[in-house]
Amino acid sequence: MAAASIRPAAVAGLFYPHDERVLRTQLAELLATAVPLEAAPIPKAIIVPHAGYIYSGAVAASAYTSLAPLRERIRRVVLLGPTHRMAVRGFALPAAQVFATPLGEVSLSQADWLALQARPDVQVDDRPHALEHCLEVQLPFLQVVLERFEIVPLLVGDAPAAAVAELLEALWGGPETLIVVSSDLSHYHPYREAQWTDRATVEAVLALHDGIDHEQACGATPINGLLLAARRHHLHPQLLDLRNSGDTAGDRARVVGYTSIAFSDTELPDHARH
């Protein structure tokens, strides 16, 4: 568990370009063409998808463009996402102190890394993180839209929503802290069925109803925890984008759903919602 250990990029060249120049060009295009459904106030937290950029990058970009006014303010990003390759009890924190991408290295918040180890439901383990894509694919977006920041990367396994909310409370911070929950929506339904299913899921999130299940969203557990925390902090969710792979780069026989939702402490006036 070397203090200088680096978690190398695992899905560069698969989920997003491995070449730095190609990646920067793709990110610039995604961010420049992102048109959120609503004019979002400055967010405290966002839900964003984590598929390959050709599938969900445009949806994710609609959330990341809203961070532009916070470029110099955000110094700490709490990243929560589900485990796809290895079962975890509670939360998995990497032993590695740096995450690398083709755009450079991002350091972990050392103070948070040390403090989180006091929690009985947090395990320090590089293995769940080694090949996991859900947090990694968010990093290049963050590296482009923010100036300087540290991360608190946590994979969420078997944990109650209340425990996720409690962990978020401990990491909540002030305006320097952004919370990112990485999740896709439904998986492998026909196009129209997915649209209906995902719309219902998003409506539940917008109503801050924390009963999302894993058929609705692979990141249901961190989403539910965020919804509990959002209620406690009186945050207002706004839908920025809702599409699926049949809208972006795939066929419509079996699609995966994607959404971006921003949570802020400012509610949009009625006239701005239409």
Distance CA(35)–CA(57), nearest Å, equals 13
Q: Between the CA of residue 125 and those of 1, 7, 94, 128, 154, what are the distances in Å?
A: 9, 12, 5, 7, 10
Whether 175 shows a pLDDT value over 90: the answer reads yes
Tell me if 63 sits within 8 A of 242, measured CB to CB: no
Residue 273 within a domain? no
The predicted structure's pLDDT at residue 268: 57
- pTM, 2 dp: 0.95
Sign of CA dihedral 178, 264, 156, 218: negative
Domain that holds residue 209: 14-168+202-264
What DSSP element (H or E) covers 45? strand 45-48
* pLDDT in the model for residue 232: 97
3 falls within a domain: no
Asked if residue 7 belongs to a domain, the reply is: no
In a domain, 174, yes or no: no
What are the pLDDT digits (tens) for 121-145?
Answer: 999 999 999 999 999 999 999 999 9
Token code pair at residue 230: 């959002």
On whether residue 78 sits in a domain, the answer given is yes
With residue 111 as reference, give the H or E element that holds it.
Answer: helix 110-116
Q: What are phi and psi for residue 139, nearest 5 degrees?
A: -65, -45
pLDDT of residue 138: 98
CATH code of residue 80: 3.40.830.10
* pLDDT at residue 4 tops 70: no
Residue 3: the pLDDT is: 47
Per DSSP, the three-state class of 125 is coil
User: Is 190 part of a structural domain of the chain?
Assistant: no
> Looking at the domain assignment, is residue 209 inside a domain?
yes
Q: For residue range 187-213, what is the model confidence (pLDDT) as tens digits?
A: 999 999 999 999 999 999 999 999 999
Long-range contacts of the stretch 7-10 (C-beta < 8 A, 24+): 7/94, 7/96, 7/98, 7/99, 7/100, 7/126, 7/129, 7/130, 8/100, 9/99, 9/100, 9/101, 9/102, 9/136, 10/130, 10/131, 10/132, 10/133, 10/136
Number of domains in the chain: 1
Residue 178 is assigned to a structural domain of this protein: no
